[in-house]
Chains A and B, each alone.
Chain A
Amino acid sequence: MTARRHSAGGEQEFAEERASLVRITFGPLIWAMHFLLSYAGAAVFCAKFPHASEHLDLLVWGIGLATLVALAGIAWQGQRSFHQWRKGNEDSLIEEDADGSSEDRHQFLGHAALLLAVISAVGVIYTALPAFLTATCR
């Protein structure tokens, strides 16, 4: 009924953790901020900046910088989640049947957050691609 491999203190240590449910959304939120900034930045730049077409490299480097910042944030979040997940679970990439302990739930949220960080990183890199391949206000 209770944990196979867990210490008695586990229940207390990982009690509730509402914050870590919120934390799984950090990766996607960084993607969303980066996406919004890139889109709004390009829209305002092309619409409001005089001679926008001649100074496109400014925009491209701005988006490039934002991409680096976003990726750094996601990497930080990713390694935190990695540690949360990997503690005592070294054997598999696909977490298997849950045993109902709070430690298990703790690791699950770490795993979900890590995977979301990976997908967010791919999303951020994809968002940056047009800045380098399609840099035109036309």
Chain B
Amino acid sequence: MSGCEGPQSVFRTGGSDAAQLEHLFLVMLAGAVVLWLGINGLFYYASRVSARPVSRARVEALILGGGVGLPVVVLTALLVYGLSIMPDQRAPGDGLRLRVTGEQFWWRVEYWPEGAEAPVVSANEVRLPVGRRTEIELAATDVIHSFWLPALGGKTDLIPGRVNRMSLEPTEVGTWRGQCAEFCGLSHALMAFQAITLEEAEFGAWLAREAQGLAPEARTAEGYAIFTAQGCGGCHALRGTEARGTVGPDLTHVGGRATLAAGILPMTADALTDWIRDPAAFKPGVEMPGYDHMDPDELATLALWLEGLR
């Protein structure tokens, strides 16, 4: 299935839910091909080949058997199979809880380890431990979005005023891509995210690092001064500093993410520079204003500094 192996393909499975659904699909596909050939072959025979009128008893058997019997048997079997896997797909999580909030056009991600009182906040990237079933709460602030990570499982909508739940159980270590699947406005096409699945121990170590505030050496760098002077903290948070904005993504460890601007740009200083100068050029309808009035050197310094926040 080499043609099916895109970064967002349902056939490149890395979790038990997606594997179950892939199996379901392949079973249905095989059945569908057989049925399609059967029905169309029969029609071809009836309209082109069959020369003499067929007896009445045969015709009755055809309507009863083909029109009623066959569908009832096939559909009952399929329904029993399909319905019985739903409880597995919706099984409760076993510890860690994520809360993903959809915003136009990015993802706010909070990690709630069992018993935690405050979340570890991140954005546009989800990391999950392999071998555990992680519950994901889904919410939205502005419009309806849909959280879809095909490699691990099906999608669920994020709806303002509601909290939906899904759960995923990765079985393989890897990096996967997900995307918003419900039309959410001008830049719906540009609202993606990365998912990284890690061994449990590695995940624990990463989460502990992620939970820390801004590194002390980063606070003394020139980039921090520029960040503060430009008022970036009004919208973005750097935990452990005065920057406590919550309108945009938390930037405490922004350089540690694989992508920028919800999966549409690589996390490089150049991309950061271009993005900060004119976000709307990359993402129509984005809320962040452009900073094309900034001194180019300052902008480059700021970008380089942000890229270093890991």
Residues of A at the B interface (CB closer than 8 Å) are 92-94, 118, 122, 126, 129-130, 133-136, 138
**Could you list 26 examples of A-B contacts with CB < 8 Å?**
A92-B56, A93-B60, A93-B64, A94-B56, A94-B59, A94-B60, A118-B68, A126-B75, A126-B79, A129-B79, A129-B80, A129-B83, A130-B83, A133-B80, A133-B84, A133-B86, A134-B83, A134-B84, A134-B86, A134-B87, A136-B86, A136-B87, A136-B90, A138-B90, A138-B92, A138-B165
The interface bits of chain B over 63-104 (1 if a CB of A lies within 8 angstroms of the residue's CB, else 0) are 110001000100110011001101100101000000000000
What CA separation (Å) do A28 and B72 show in the bound complex?
17
What CA separation (Å) do A135 and B86 show in the bound complex?
9
Provide the residues of chain B in CB contact with A93, threshold 8 Å. 60, 64
Given contacts A93-B60, A126-B79, 4 further A-B pairs with CB under 8 A are A92-B60, A122-B72, A129-B79, A138-B90
Cβ-closest chain A residue relative to B68: A118
What CA separation (Å) do A94 and B59 show in the bound complex?
9
Provide the residues of chain A in CB contact with B56, threshold 8 Å. 92, 94
What CA separation (Å) do A94 and B60 show in the bound complex?
6
Residue pair A133, B165 in contact (C-beta under 8 Å): no
What CA separation (Å) do A126 and B80 show in the bound complex?
9
Provide the residues of chain A in CB contact with B76, threshold 8 Å. 126
Cβ-closest chain A residue relative to B57: A92
Cβ-closest chain A residue relative to B90: A138
What CA separation (Å) do A126 and B68 show in the bound complex?
15
What CA separation (Å) do A124 and B160 show in the bound complex?
34
Residues of B at the A interface (CB closer than 8 Å) are 56, 59-60, 63-64, 68, 72, 75-76, 79-80, 83-84, 86-87, 90, 92, 165
What CA separation (Å) do A85 and B176 show in the bound complex?
61
Cβ-closest chain B residue relative to A133: B83
Least CB distance, A2 to chain B, in whole angstroms: 25
Cβ-closest chain B residue relative to A137: B90
Cβ-closest chain B residue relative to A135: B87
What CA separation (Å) do A129 and B87 show in the bound complex?
14
Provide the residues of chain B in CB contact with A134, threshold 8 Å. 83-84, 86-87
What CA separation (Å) do A94 and B76 show in the bound complex?
25
What CA separation (Å) do A7 and B64 show in the bound complex?
32
What CA separation (Å) do A27 and B278 show in the bound complex?
63
Least CB distance, B263 to chain A, in whole angstroms: 29
Provide the residues of chain A in CB contact with B90, threshold 8 Å. 136, 138
Interface hub of A118, A126, A133 (most chain B Cβ within 10 A): A133
What CA separation (Å) do A126 and B83 show in the bound complex?
11
Interface hub of A93, A118, A135 (most chain B Cβ within 10 A): A93
Provide the residues of chain B in CB contact with A138, threshold 8 Å. 87, 90, 92, 165
Provide the residues of chain B in CB contact with A130, threshold 8 Å. 83
Least CB distance, A137 to chain B, in whole angstroms: 10
Provide the residues of chain A in CB contact with B64, threshold 8 Å. 93
Cβ-closest chain A residue relative to B75: A126
What CA separation (Å) do A93 and B87 show in the bound complex?
41
What CA separation (Å) do A87 and B75 show in the bound complex?
33
Provide the residues of chain B in CB contact with A135, threshold 8 Å. 87
What CA separation (Å) do A136 and B56 show in the bound complex?
48
What CA separation (Å) do A136 and B165 show in the bound complex?
13
Provide the residues of chain A in CB contact with B165, threshold 8 Å. 138
What CA separation (Å) do A134 and B56 show in the bound complex?
43
What CA separation (Å) do A92 and B59 show in the bound complex?
11
Cβ-closest chain B residue relative to A91: B56
Provide the residues of chain B in CB contact with A118, threshold 8 Å. 68
Least CB distance, B134 to chain A, in whole angstroms: 15
Residue pair B80, A94 in contact (C-beta under 8 Å): no
Cβ-closest chain A residue relative to B165: A138
Q: Which 10 pairs of residues, A with B, have the shortest CB-CB distance?
A: A133-B83, A138-B90, A134-B86, A133-B84, A134-B83, A94-B60, A136-B87, A93-B60, A130-B83, A129-B79
What CA separation (Å) do A93 and B60 show in the bound complex?
7
Cβ-closest chain A residue relative to B72: A122
Cβ-closest chain A residue relative to B83: A133
Provide the residues of chain A in CB contact with B92, threshold 8 Å. 138
